[in-house]
Amino acid sequence: MDCQNAMVNQFIKEAAELLQPERIVWIDGSEQQTEELRRLGCERGEMIRLNQEKLPNCYYHRTAVNDVSRVEDRTFICSREKKHAGATNNWMEPRRAYALTDGIMRGRMKGRTMYVIPFSMGVVSSPFSKIGIELTDSIYVVLNMLIMTRCGEQVIRALGDSNDFVRGLHALCDIDEQKRYILQFPEDNAIRSCNSGYGGNVLLGKKCFALRIASYQGWKEGWMAEHMLILGLENPAGDVRYIAAAFPSACGKTNLAMLIPPEGYRIKGYRVWTVGDDIAWIRVGPDGRFYAQNPEAGFFGVAPGTNEKSNPNALACTNEGTIFTNVALKPDGTVWWEGLDKNPPRDALDWTGKPWDPDSGVKGAHPNSRFTAPARNCPCISPEWENPAGVPLEAIIFGGRRAKTAPLVYQSRDWDHGVFVGSIMASETTAAATGAVGVPRRDPMSMLPFCGYDMGDYFQHWLDMGKMTTDDKLPKIFNVNWFRLDDKGNFIWPGFGENFRVLQWIIARCLGEVDAVETPIGWVPYPEDIHIEGLDYQICPNHRFGEEDLRRLLTIENSLWLDEVADIRAFYAKIGKTVPAKLIKELNKMEARLREDAKA
C-alpha cells in the first residue's frame, strides 16, 4: 500500500525501530488479504476454522487463561498532569509510561510481522469520523479490527496528509499479567497496549480510542463519546424515535439494542432498529437537536445468555463471518456457551481447550466469552446506522444492575437533574473486567472505566452540552433497572423483549402523552401506564408476575435512598473539587426531599 503521509510513516518507522519486526504488512481491507490472514492465523494456531457449512467464514479463538477481560487496575490515563486524569483513573506520567513500555516492548516483534491497520471510527470520510492507525503483531487483533471498524486503503486516502489520527501500538509480548499495561495518552492522541491479547485491551479502536481518547476530544471539541447503545423505536404509523442508553459492561446494551417487542406490540406493527450496541458519539446538529452516531462497524457481544429466546437478533448476527472468543468448541466445529440452549454438549472442549464435562460444575464458556460479528449481519440493523449525520435523540437512558433501591424506571426533572441522575449511577460489577463480580460500585454514566479525563470535568461537560441548545430540543433523561431481585434472588422484572413496555412509557413521556408521579428522586410512572397485558412471566415456580410486582418495582424506598445519599456524597468527595456545584445542589435537594417524605 502506498502511504504518503509523513506522520504515519514516521510513527511506523519509530515503532519498527523499537519492536524490530521481521516484516511490516499493511492491512488493505481486501477480501483476498483477509482470507490469507485467516489461513495464516489457523496455521499458527491463533485461530481455529469452524464448520464452514454451518458457520461460513467463522473462526474460533482462545485467549490465555490469565487474559480474559479488561484490566482496569492496569489501565492508565497518561495526561501530563495527574489532576487531568482525576481521582477515578489510574495515572502515569507520560514520559515514564513511554519509557516503561519501551522497555517492555523493545525487540518483542523480532522474527514476527507487524501489521499496520489504518481504521476509521465512523463511516469513512464523514466529517464526524476519526481515524486511527493500530500497529499489532496479533492476527486475531487484525481480524477483529476488520469486523469492528472500517479498515484499509480508503482510510489512508481519507486521512490525506493530516496529522489528525490516533497512534495505537499493541504488542502481545508474553501475555505476562505483571507487565500488562493499557495506556492512553489523550494529549498525544496515542495508545499503548502490551502483554494482552483480549478484546477491549487490544482492539484499540474500541474502549481505548472511541471512549477514552474520544471522550477527551469531545470535551475539547464540544461533543460527547459515551458507552451507549443507540436504537430506533418504530410505531405502527412508521414514525421512528431514537434513544441512546448507557449501561455498564455486561448490563444489557446489546440486548436492548436488538430487542424484539412482545407479540401484542409486534402484531400491531411496533419494532426496534439497532443503530449501535456499545458506543455512541453525540453531537448537536444544525437544528439544535442531539445526534448520535455509532463509530463501530461490528458487535463485540457477550456470548453467555444469548439464545433464540433472549436475543434471536444477536444470535443471527453470529451465523456468518464471526469470530468466537473463549466459548466451548464442539467436535463438529460449531460452538456452545451457557444459556445457548438446555443441551450442553458432552463431547466439547471448554474455553481453555480441555475436554469438558457439563456435570462437573465448571463452565464450558468463559462468563466473558464473546462473539465479534459484523453489524451488517444484524436482521434489525437500522437503515440509518451508517448515516454520517447520526440519528436525532428523543431520550437518553441510564441504568445498571441494582438488586435493590433503583426503581424499574424514573425520569429526571430536567437536563441538569438528568446529569445528576447519570452521575449517581451505580451497578454491580460483572465478568467484563477482572476483579470480584457482583460488587456494587458507582459507575457514572457507565463511564467509570472509560472516561479519559477528570470525572468532575466530565460532569461539567455534560452540563455544558445542555447549554448548547434550547431546552425543548434536549433529549429527556431517564434511569432504568431491569435487575431488581426478590428475597430469593429471582429477577422480579422479566427483562429482555419485555423491556419494550418501559421504552413505550419513555417515548410517551417524551411526546407528552402521559403524566407521572413526582417523587424525591424524579418522575415515576403511574403503574397503569406501564402496560403489562399479555405479559406472562414466572418470577419463580409459584409466583407469576402481576400488578403487585409492578407496583413494588416502582416504589422508592426512603431509607435505602438515604443510604444512597451518603454513598454518593462519599463518591463525590473522592472525585473532589471538580464536581460541579450544581450537582452537589441536586444531591442536597434530593436528600431534603427524602427527609421531608420520611416525615410525612
List own/partner pairs for 569-575 with CB under 8 A and 24 or more apart. 571/424, 571/442, 574/87, 574/88, 575/86, 575/87, 575/88, 575/454, 575/455, 575/456
CB of 187 to ligand GTP, least distance (A): 27
Beta bridge mates, 371: 301, 324
Residue selected from 46, 134, 137, 278 as contacting ligand GTP according to rule CB under 6 A: 278
Strand pairing of 190-194 and 391-399?
unpaired
Verify binding: residue 46, ligand SPV, rule CB under 6 A.
no
Choose the one of ligand SPV, Mn ion, ligand GTP, none that binds residue 206, judging by a C-beta under 5 to 8 angstroms depending on kind.
ligand SPV
Verify binding: residue 253, ligand GTP, rule CB under 6 A.
yes
CB of 563 to Mn ion, least distance (A): 28
Residues 486 to 505: which contact ligand GTP by CB under 6 A?
491, 495-496, 499
Choose the one of ligand GTP, Mn ion, ligand SPV, none that binds residue 74, judging by a C-beta under 5 to 8 angstroms depending on kind.
none
CB 168 within 8 A of CB 118: no
| Interaction pattern, residues 261-280, with ligand SPV; x per rule: CB under 6 A | -----------------x--
Residue selected from 98, 216, 242, 247 as contacting ligand GTP according to rule CB under 6 A: 247
Q: Helix, strand, coil % (nearest 5) of the chain?
A: 35, 25, 45
Q: Which residue is nearest to Mn ion (CB)?
A: 278
Residues 6+ positions from 342 with CB-CB distance below 8 Å: none
Residue number with CB closer to ligand SPV (207 or 501): 207
Residue number with CB closer to ligand GTP (41 or 301): 301
Give CA 87 to chain center in angstroms. Answer: 22
Backbone dihedral region of 234: left (phi > 0), alpha (psi from -120 to 50 degrees) or beta?
beta
Verify binding: residue 70, ligand SPV, rule CB under 6 A.
yes
Return the H-helix or E-strand segment holding 585: helix 581-599
Q: Which residue is nearest to ligand GTP (CB)?
A: 495
How many residues lie near Mn ion (CB under 5 A)?
Answer: 2
Residue number with CB closer to ligand SPV (384 or 443): 443
Three-state DSSP state, 229: strand
Verify binding: residue 278, Mn ion, rule CB under 5 A.
yes
Residue number with CB closer to ligand SPV (68 or 335): 68
Terminal-residue alpha carbon distance, the chain: 73
Q: What sections of 243-345 are H helices per DSSP?
A: 253-257, 263-266, 312-317
CB of 300 to ligand GTP, least distance (A): 6
Residues 28 to 57: which contact Mn ion by CB under 5 A?
none
Return the H-helix or E-strand segment holding 505: helix 500-510
Which one of 254-262, 278-286, 288-296, 551-559 is the stretch in contact with Mn ion (CB under 5 A)? 278-286
CB of 129 to Mn ion, least distance (A): 20
What are the grid coordinates assigned to 180, written together?
A: 500488562
Residues 6+ positions from 199 with CB-CB distance below 8 Å: 69, 70, 144, 206, 300, 325, 370
How many residues lie near ligand GTP (CB under 6 A)?
Answer: 22
Residues 6+ positions from 528 with CB-CB distance below 8 Å: none
What are the grid coordinates assigned to 426, written together?
A: 451505580
CB of 253 to ligand GTP, least distance (A): 3
Which one of 129-137, 200-208, 229-237, 325-333 is the stretch in contact with ligand SPV (CB under 6 A)? 200-208
Residues 6+ positions from 143 with CB-CB distance below 8 Å: 34, 37, 38, 41, 47, 59, 323
Verify binding: residue 252, ligand GTP, rule CB under 6 A.
yes
Verify binding: residue 310, ligand GTP, rule CB under 6 A.
yes
Which one of 115-123, 248-256, 551-559, 574-582 is the stretch in contact with ligand GTP (CB under 6 A)? 248-256
Residue number with CB closer to ligand GTP (296 or 457): 296
Neighbours of 144 (CB within 10 A): 24
Verify binding: residue 86, ligand SPV, rule CB under 6 A.
no
CB 167 within 8 A of CB 191: yes
How many residues lie near ligand SPV (CB under 6 A)?
Answer: 9
Residues 235 to 264: which contact Mn ion by CB under 5 A?
249
The C-alpha atoms of residue 223 and residue 218 are separated, in whole angstroms, by: 4
User: Active site includes 194?
Assistant: no
Q: Which of 197, 28, 17, 208 is nearest to 115 (CA)?
A: 28
CB of 105 to ligand SPV, least distance (A): 21
The C-alpha atoms of residue 211 and residue 206 are separated, in whole angstroms, by: 7
Residue 143: HSE in the Cβ half-sphere, 13 Å Cα cutoff: 32
Verify binding: residue 122, ligand GTP, rule CB under 6 A.
no
Choose the one of Mn ion, ligand GTP, ligand SPV, none that binds residue 491, judging by a C-beta under 5 to 8 angstroms depending on kind.
ligand GTP
- Helix axes of 415-423 and 455-465: crossing angle, nearest 10 degrees: 160
| Interaction pattern, residues 213-252, with ligand SPV; x per rule: CB under 6 A | ------------------------------------x---
Angstrom CA distances, 437 to 200, 269, 368, 449, 495, stand at 18, 39, 11, 15, 20
Residue selected from 190, 432, 451, 492 as contacting ligand SPV according to rule CB under 6 A: 432
Verify binding: residue 564, Mn ion, rule CB under 5 A.
no
Catalytic pick among 58, 151, 194, 251 = 251
User: Which residues make up the interface to ligand GTP (CB under 6 A)?
Assistant: 247, 249-255, 277-278, 301-302, 304-305, 310, 432, 482-483, 491, 495-496, 499
User: Which residues make up the interface to ligand SPV (CB under 6 A)?
Assistant: 70, 199-200, 206-207, 249, 278, 300, 432
**Active-site positions?**
251
